[in-house]
Structures are given as structure tokens and as C-alpha cells.
């Protein structure tokens, strides 16, 4: 017996091809739905019962009675055969239409796909458990928003102050100077030009002074430099209390215990209590954990995450902020300083997470056909004579 496949736009055209090439006695083994339409697997030259040796044909007594009764019945037997063939055709068409018409279970299956993809979308195990407990089976985008809002309820969120002294601390390359530019632009956009002052105590990085001077000229705001803790304390004493002072510090590696202690002593002597850790999102998770543990000894008020645009998975930022257990003051999500700032807002974080999700919400039934779902192969065996031309 030989096997041959036929493809066509619909089953009617496929049957015409089979009859034309194989004949009316071809046995159809399998029917698949394919992107081009439908595919039939046909058995060519299949032996009939008459061609088989008598030893291979085991006909039981009930079967012999049925055959004998069919011979006697005559027209009634033909009518029963026709009914059976029509029933087979109906079952085939219903099965085929069920594949084309979305069913209620499709939305549930797609919801399951979305739930299974949580780990692949960067959500931590803690956040996965919360979302799975809150999301219904047929969740829509609004359900996802409510679930994320409830899952992030214990996230400590606080806005940056409009006045006072804020020191940005962190490791080299964390983006402190870029963040200083972003925060300065944000303050100017809020009308704080006369109440904004920038200070740099970074005496190690080459070109740090020139970079801050250029920023001050571009933004038309005051800048100053402090070579040590005494100079910083004197400068802060001369600045009015309603001014927002942003301090750019030198980067300190999280392994440099002496450098961390020196930075802590400098800020403490100058009376700077608001110390915000600037943490780069493009670092490895283990490095982020070590950095957070090292800078926690400096009595940080919270953290700001930079380079948020480097995160590949949408659930990473929300998951990490939840695990950090630190006050979140905001994030920098773009390399463009003019539109990089995302304030510490749960709604903004949820929107940022949903925008990058591969499955932001299970699709409704009307859109289920757009999702490739693996089909179980259904098998039939019937003759081409039972199909209409």
C-alpha cells in the first residue's frame, strides 16, 4: 500500500483531486488543517477484503449474520449504508468546523498559555505566585492591571523631594551623571530654575568637572564643585533651604569597603541625609544584589533604577523592585535625558510592564484564530465515494 498526500483550499477541491488521480475507491487515512487549507493522506492500492486470503479474514458469527441480513434486506441495506455514510460526513464536517469556529475553551487555553509564559517574561517566582492567584482563567487586560496592582501593593513608593539636598551614590558606570541631567531637566520643566543647584564631588573621573559645567550652561542653572567634606558642608550652608540641590558623587565599587566608608563619612559630615542609590538595570542580578547589600550600610533612603531600556523582559523591573525591599524613587527608561524619567508610580510601572508583555492579556474568543495552537491529529477512514463531488 502506498501513501500519498493531497492539499487544497477546501475539502471539496481536495476530493476532486483524489478522484481524478487515484479513483473513487481511494481510502482516506488522515485529514489535517494546514495554512494552505486542508491536507488529506490517502492510501493508494489498498487491498480489499476480497483480495485478502481467507486465513486473514476472521468473520465472526454476528458479523456473518449481519452480512446475510444485508443481502436479504436489499434496498434497506443500501439505505442503512447511505445513512452511515451521511453520518460520517456530518461528523467530519462538524469536526472540521470546530477547528475554524472559536470555542469557549479556546480563551481558557490561551489564558493558560499566558500563565505558562510568566516565567519566560521575567516575572520572579514571588510575583508569579501572586499573579496566578489573582488572575481569572479568561483574564482580560483590565484583570491584568488589577492583578498587578494588588501584587505590587507592598511596594514602597515615594516621590523625589522638590527641595532639600539629594546625593546620588552608586558604582562606576551606574549612570549617576546621566541621571543628574535627567532630574535637572525635570526640575526645570516644573518651574524650579531659580531653586535648582548642582554640585559635584567627583574628583576622580576624567572630565567630570567639564561635563557638569557644560550641563550648567546648557540648562542655565548654577553649579559648583566640592573637593572634600569641608567644602561641601560650607557650600550647602550658603544655599537657601527651598532649593533643590542634586549632588553627583564619585562612583565606588561595591567591593571597596574603604571607599564606601569614606563616602559615608563625607556625606555625614556635610549633613546630607537623603542618599539615593543609583542602580544600573543592565548589571547581572547577582551583582545588583551585592551592590544593594554593600550600599545599604550607607543608610540609603531608597533607590533609582537606571538604564531601564536595557531590560529584555517586561517583568524584570517590577520583580526586582519587589524583591529589593527598598523605597523606589523612580527609574530612567531611556538614553534620551529629556524623556527618560519614569516617576515612582505604580500605575506607570504597570503600564510599563504590560507594554512589553508577550501576552499582556488572554485574547478574546474572536481573536483566538490569530494564535497558533497545536492541534491534535484526528484520524478517520472512509471512502471517497462517501464524499459529494
Interval 280-325: pLDDT, tens: 998 888 999 999 999 999 999 999 999 988 888 888 999 999 999 9
CB-based contact 313:121 (threshold 8 Å)? yes
Task: Count how many Cα atoms sit within 13 Å of the Cα of residue 169 in the half-sphere of its side chain.
Answer: 31
Lowest mean pLDDT among 10-19, 69-78, 124-133: 69-78
Burial environment of residue 369 by CB neighbours within 10 A (0 to 12, 13 to 18, 19 or more): middle
Whole-number percent of the chain with pLDDT over 70: 73
Pairwise CA distance, residues 168 & 208, whole Å: 14
Average pLDDT over residues 375-388: 43
Average pLDDT over residues 64-68: 51
Q: How confident is the model at residue 369 (pLDDT cuts 50, 70, 90)?
A: very low
22: how many CB neighbours lie within 10 A of its CB?
19
Q: What angle do CA 385, 9, 87 make, to 5 degrees?
A: 35
pLDDT of residue 183: 94
Report how far Cα 31 is from the mean position of its chain's Cα atoms.
Answer: 35
Domain boundaries, the chain: 1-47, 72-101, 106-151, 164-344
pLDDT of residue 134: 86
| pTM greater than 0.85 | no
* Pairing label, strands 274-280, 222-225: unpaired
Q: How confident is the model at residue 248 (pLDDT cuts 50, 70, 90)?
A: very high
Q: What's the grid cell of residue 376?
A: 491534535
pLDDT of residue 314: 83
Average pLDDT over residues 51-64: 48
164-344 adopts what CATH topology? Answer: Rossmann fold (3.40.50)
Pairwise CA distance, residues 373 & 67, whole Å: 44
- Scanning 274-334, the segments in alpha helix (DSSP H) are 285-295, 316-324
Q: What's the grid cell of residue 286?
A: 547577582
CB-based contact 211:163 (threshold 8 Å)? no
- The DSSP string of 47-106 is --TTTS-GGG----HHHHHHHHHHHHHTHHHHHHHHHHHHHHHHHHHHHHHHHHS--HHH
Amino acid at each position: 500500500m502506498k501513501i500519498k498526500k493531497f492539499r487544497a483550499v477546501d475539502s471539496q477541491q481536495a476530493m476532486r483531486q483524489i478522484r481524478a488521480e487515484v479513483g473513487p475507491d481511494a481510502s482516506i487515512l488522515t485529514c489535517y488543517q494546514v495554512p494552505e487549507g486542508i491536507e488529506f493522506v490517502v492510501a493508494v492500492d489498498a487491498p480489499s477484503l476480497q483480495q485478502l486470503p481467507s486465513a486473514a479474514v476472521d468473520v465472526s458469527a454476528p458479523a456473518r449474520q449481519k452480512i446475510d441480513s444485508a443481502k436479504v434486506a436489499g434496498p434497506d441495506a443500501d439505505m442503512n449504508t447511505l445513512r452511515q455514510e451521511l453520518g460520517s460526513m456530518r461528523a467530519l464536517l462538524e469536526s472540521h468546523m470546530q477547528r475554524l469556529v472559536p470555542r469557549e475553551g479556546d480563551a481558557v487555553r490561551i489564558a493558560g498559555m499566558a500563565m505558562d509564559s510568566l516565567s519566560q517574561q521575567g516575572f520572579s517566582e514571588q510575583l508569579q505566585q501572586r499573579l496566578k492567584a489573582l488572575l481569572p482563567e479568561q483574564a482580560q487586560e483590565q484583570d491584568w492591571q488589577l492583578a498587578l496592582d494588588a501584587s505590587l501593593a507592598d511596594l514602597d513608593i515615594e516621590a523625589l523631594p522638590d527641595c532639600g539636598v539629594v546625593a546620588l551614590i552608586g558604582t562606576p558606570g551606574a549612570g549617576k551623571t546621566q541621571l543628574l541631567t535627567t532630574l535637572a531637566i525635570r526640575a526645570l520643566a516644573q518651574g524650579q530654575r531659580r531653586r535648582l543647584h548642582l554640585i559635584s564631588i567627583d574628583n576622580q573621573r576624567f572630565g567630570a568637572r567639564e561635563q557638569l559645567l557644560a550641563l550648567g550652561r546648557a540648562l542655565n542653572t548654577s553649579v559648583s564643585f566640592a573637593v572634600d567634606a569641608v567644602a561641601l558642608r560650607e557650600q550647602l550652608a550658603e544655599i537657601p533651604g527651598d532649593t533643590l540641590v542634586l549632588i553627583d558623587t564619585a562612583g565606588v565599587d561595591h567591593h571597596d569597603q574603604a571607599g564606601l566608608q569614606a563616602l559615608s563619612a563625607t556625606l555625614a559630615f556635610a549633613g546630607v541625609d537623603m542618599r539615593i542609590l543609583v542602580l544600573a538595570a543592565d548589571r547581572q542580578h547577582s551583582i545588583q544584589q551585592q551592590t544593594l547589600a554593600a550600599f545599604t550600610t550607607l543608610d540609603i533612603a531608597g533607590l533609582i533604577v537606571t538604564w531601564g531600556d536595557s531590560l529584555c523582559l517586561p517583568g524584570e523591573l517590577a520583580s526586582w523592585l519587589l524583591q529589593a525591599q527598598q523605597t523606589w524613587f523612580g527609574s530612567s527608561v531611556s538614553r534620551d535625558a529629556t524623556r527618560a524619567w519614569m516617576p515612582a508610580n505604580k500605575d506607570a510601572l504597570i503600564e510599563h510592564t504590560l507594554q512589553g508583555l508577550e501576552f499582556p492579556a488572554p485574547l478574546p474568543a474572536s481573536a483566538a484564530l490569530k494564535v497558533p495552537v497545536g492541534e491534535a491529529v484526528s484520524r478517520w477512514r472512509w471512502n471517497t465515494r462517501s464524499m459529494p463531488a
